[in-house]
Chains A and B, each alone.
Chain A
Amino acid sequence: AIQMTQSPSSLSASVGDRVTISCRTSQGISNELGWYQQKPGKAPKLLIYAASILQSGVPSRFSGSGSGTHFTLTISSLQPEDFATYYCLQDHNFPRTFGQGTKLEIK
């Protein structure tokens, strides 16, 4: 199974900050990776697929990049509604595997 290493596991930031979350995979997966946002008590929500394609309706302050084994999710200017937990998910093969999650908290 492809191992996913997401970092940091938690992050404190302020409204207006630029933040970057990293996801590394144990083997190359081209750009077959997505990013999801989850708020407490809610189902995850798709933000980005194919490493860099923004899902319809997701604000443009979210962006994704990377290919191979290293991927990043960037939020250009944090808004209050962005404080949540973020997960990466590889769709290169089965079993599908998620990163451990990054909890983004208000500083």
Chain B
Amino acid sequence: EVQLVESGGGLVQPGGSLRLSCAASGFTFGSYEMNWVRQAPGKGLEWIAYISPTGQTIHHADSVKGRFSISRDNARSSLYLQMNSLRVEDTAVYYCARDNSLVQDYTNYNWFDPWGQGTLVTVSS
């Protein structure tokens, strides 16, 4: 069974740091692009980071650029999100999601499936 399991969430003070992990199983992790997506309480979904299979290509949303860093360890089938200088507005459920792709008629399509169950990060004093 293809599965993603996040961990590492919790309560942290503003300005603090936290490292999230996403453990993958049931597929060849090193062959897939991966993403982090978050959802603040009662709000919509926000994409925050992407990493290519080798880790050579990385993108972060402007809202987290310079504070958060996505990384991966293919030998451990694990994805990470290092979060520094945390703010109250970073409070959210954080999901990892596998990025699937299809090239058709010279267009590259991508979609997120599956998703992990999410891990809650609360930034509060």
Majority SS at the chain A contact face: loop
Q: Chain B residue with minimal CB distance to A98?
A: B45
Does residue A96 face the partner (Cβ distance < 8 Å to B)? Answer: yes
Majority SS at the chain B contact face: strand
Specify which of B46, B108, B111 is in contact with A46 (CB 8 Å cutoff): B111
User: Given A43-B95, A45-B115, are A50 and B109 neighbors across the interface (CB < 8 Å)?
Assistant: yes
Q: Chain A residue with minimal CB distance to B58?
A: A94
The interface on chain A, measured as residues whose beta carbon lies within 8 A of the other chain's beta carbons, has a size of 25
The interface residues of chain B lying within 8 Å CB-to-CB of A1 are: 62
Contact B47 A49 (CB under 8 A): no
User: Given A44-B45, A50-B102, are A95 and B62 neighbors across the interface (CB < 8 Å)?
Assistant: yes
The interface on chain B, measured as residues whose beta carbon lies within 8 A of the other chain's beta carbons, has a size of 26
Smallest CB–CB gap between A35 and chain B, Å? 10
Q: How far is the CA of A101 from the CA of B45 in the complex (A)?
A: 8
Q: How far is the CA of A99 from the CA of B115 in the complex (A)?
A: 18
Q: Chain A residue with minimal CB distance to B63?
A: A95
CB within 8 Å of B: which A83-107 residues: 87, 89, 91, 94-101
Does residue A30 face the partner (Cβ distance < 8 Å to B)? Answer: yes
Q: How far is the CA of A37 from the CA of B95 in the complex (A)?
A: 15
CB within 8 Å of B: which A33-85 residues: 34, 36, 38, 43-46, 49-50, 55
Q: Chain B residue with minimal CB distance to A55?
A: B113
Contact B44 A87 (CB under 8 A): yes
Q: How far is the CA of A95 from the CA of B63 in the complex (A)?
A: 11
Contact B111 A49 (CB under 8 A): yes
Does residue B25 face the partner (Cβ distance < 8 Å to A)? Answer: no
Smallest CB–CB gap between A86 and chain B, Å? 11
Smallest CB–CB gap between B117 and chain A, Å? 6
Residues of A at the B interface (CB closer than 8 Å) are 1, 30-32, 34, 36, 38, 43-46, 49-50, 55, 87, 89, 91, 94-101
